[in-house]
Structure 1
Amino acid sequence: MDRSSQLLDEALGIVDDTSSMVSSSFPSSSVVLIEDCVETSGAFVIHHILKRSLSPPSSAAVVLVSLSHPFSHYDRILRKLVHTFALSLSFVLFSQGCNLAAHRDNRRFFFCDMLMVDFPRQGQGNVSKGGLIELYAKIQKVVEDISSSFGSGKCITIILDDFSLIEVAANGSLNHSLDFLRYCYALTSEFGLGLLVHTSCGGVYPLPSIQGCSLVILHHEDIYSAEESAALILQMEYLADVVIKAEPLATGLAADVHGQLTVLNKGIHDQLRSSKSKVHNFHFKLRENGVECFYPGTQA
């Protein structure tokens, strides 16, 4: 793998197992929060995660809940992205592009298009909360179907793009947005650890254990006033195992650098390992076929 992509993977906690050819996904049951701003979009991290999750040697499944773009948007971008994976010192697997339509047909990629959903409008009482409940039920149903179809050993990554529009769907209700966030967060533990799931009818049934269910959230940090954003952002950062901030350069605009990333990896504790928190800081440059990450001062 080229070093520029490896910087971002290391910060995210993505590790390739060359001996067993298993997974290039996140550690089990992790939550990744991507915070960006108007000047610097963090959407490229979503695209990178999609590509890594669906490219060899990973066998993970991805559930993308999009409130901001149609399927064609992601498909067009992913077809251009390049990913390389070193199977050994002498053999490198080169992956050109990613066909989301093919992965959708193979039931590894599930796209929830929320652009055309008519969420209840303001003044309709608790119906606004009902819209988010229906959305969560749809996500849960997809995860259940993946679990029942593939059994144990399947990694699932749920991507919310973007969470800022969840609050719009909830008619500006912070409480309903937080409830939805906590429900999605619960999936990372319920499915990742094979716990019991409570149905809407009050019943309880066991689910087959899967290798892990991770949650990736894109959120625009600077669209709120300080008071409005405090509760939501603090809750999201508290739940996240990895917090990524995409920001403009502190020194101003540069032709060959598009922004800087600060990645706080709190250390993900699972059955196999326990790691300490670590902060990564590097610059990035967006290219048509991917993103180039590098430490400040290392680019000529």
Structure 2
Amino acid sequence: MNRPTTLLDDALSFDDGESNSRRPQNGRVVLVEDCVETSGAFVLHHLIKRFLSPNVSSSDSIVLFVAFAQPFSHYDRILRKMGCNLAAQRENKRLLFFDMLMLECPDDDVEGGLIALFGNIQKAVEVNSSNKNITIVIDDISLLEVATNGSTKDVLNFMRYCHTLTTQFGCTIIIVLHEDIYSSGDGFTFPLQLEYLADIIIKTEPLITGLAADVHGQLTVLNKGTLDGFRSSKGKIHNFHYKIKENSVDYFYPGSRS
């Protein structure tokens, strides 16, 4: 069933202009914001599958996965149910998996710990940069902040360093953020800073009208563009439904657009 992929990909403008060969546009930062009521994990899984799809030139496309939230076995189990074998992709070097679950930056050298992490990411990008379309996935940035003992400034500096890879190597970066944990206080400046860096913002939220039997929530996509030299945002809103058991996208209901 191709309809769900087409709707989401259209909203994200992931298209190379050929109707039979859709691929991500390089050099973009995609921010996935979710909340407790509506997890955005299914969006992340959908994007990983699409970036590793055989339809995306298999010889020159890789995913560099920096995982703070779950072990490799978790993602592999879910993606297998979606028809994507992460273990095989890792074996053939299309997936580079960085297990960061135990990362803890020392109190007296948080900056040094993040510089070392960025150095490892940059090295992996450089090694694979020849004729490669590289996607860097960070799941999730909230836990990186925990690993740095709440040093928001250092995490933002780390993300700015990562952002340089979009221009230097044409990398696409996907960031997952749990927005609701920053819903009050000065901490809300952190998601605002990430939104500023992002070219595409995907928000999963509960339905404004409340619960529904056949719809799990609302997906809002803000795709920033350039118009006459000025930065503008064009949003698309879709109500979505997905298989909770498999945590994978089932299909999207088209909703209101703005």
How far apart, CA to CA, are the structure 1 residues paired with 2:48 and 2:178? Answer: 19
1:124-164 Cα distance to aligned partner (Å, 9 max, x none): 32x122221111111111111111xxx23x21110100010
1:249-260 mapped onto 2 (5 Å cutoff): 249-260=207-218
1:43-65 Cα distance to aligned partner (Å, 9 max, x none): 11110110000012113210110
How far apart, CA to CA, are the structure 2 residues paired with 1:110 and 1:25? Answer: 19
Residue 116 (structure 2) aligns with:
134
The AA in structure 2 aligned to 1:174 is: T
For the pair 1:266 / 2:224, whether they are aligned, the reply is: yes
* Contact kept in structure 2, 1:249 and 1:259, CA below 8 Å: yes
* Contact kept in structure 1, 2:16 and 2:25, CA below 8 Å: no
1:193-221 Cα distance to aligned partner (Å, 9 max, x none): xxxxxxxxxxxxxxxxxxxx111000011
For the pair 1:172 / 2:150, whether they are aligned, the reply is: yes
TM-score (norm. length: structure 2): 0.89
State the aligned residue count.
248
* Contact kept in structure 2, 1:5 and 1:291, CA below 8 Å: no
Residue 283 (structure 1) aligns with:
239
The AA in structure 2 aligned to 1:177 is: V
TM-score (norm. length: structure 1): 0.77
Structure 2: 5+ residue runs without aligned partners?
Answer: none
How far apart, CA to CA, are the structure 2 residues paired with 1:16 and 1:77? Answer: 28
* Contact kept in structure 1, 2:241 and 2:250, CA below 8 Å: yes
How far apart, CA to CA, are the structure 2 residues paired with 1:179 and 1:283? Answer: 35
Offset at 1:268? 6.9
Residue 37 (structure 2) aligns with:
39
1:6-85 mapped onto 2 (5 Å cutoff): 6-15=6-15, 18=18, 24-58=22-56, 59=58, 60-81=61-82
Structure having the higher Rg: 1
* Contact kept in structure 2, 1:132 and 1:169, CA below 8 Å: no
1:67-124 Cα distance to aligned partner (Å, 9 max, x none): 010001110111111xxxxxxxxxxxxxxx111111111111011000133432xxx3
Large movers: runs of 4+ above 4 Å: 16-19
Task: Give the direction of change, closer, same or farther, for the CA distance of 1:174–1:117 in structure 2 (3 Å limit).
Answer: closer
* Contact kept in structure 2, 1:167 and 1:177, CA below 8 Å: yes
* Contact kept in structure 2, 1:25 and 1:155, CA below 8 Å: no
Offset at 1:226? 2.7
Residue 187 (structure 2) aligns with:
229
The AA in structure 2 aligned to 1:295 is: P
Q: Secondary structure at the match of 2:181?
A: coil
1:105-144 mapped onto 2 (5 Å cutoff): 105-120=91-106, 124-125=107-108, 127-144=109-126
How far apart, CA to CA, are the structure 2 residues paired with 1:163 and 1:255? Answer: 32
Q: Secondary structure at the match of 1:104?
A: helix
How far apart, CA to CA, are the structure 2 residues paired with 1:32 and 1:25? Answer: 14
How far apart, CA to CA, are the structure 1 residues paired with 2:92 and 2:240? Answer: 33
Structure 1: 5+ residue runs without aligned partners?
Answer: 82-96, 193-212, 270-274
How far apart, CA to CA, are the structure 2 residues paired with 1:140 and 1:291? Answer: 35
Q: 1:241 pairs with 192, 199, 209, which one? A: 199
Offset at 1:255? 2.1
Task: Give the direction of change, closer, same or farther, for the CA distance of 1:225–1:9 in structure 2 (3 Å limit).
Answer: closer
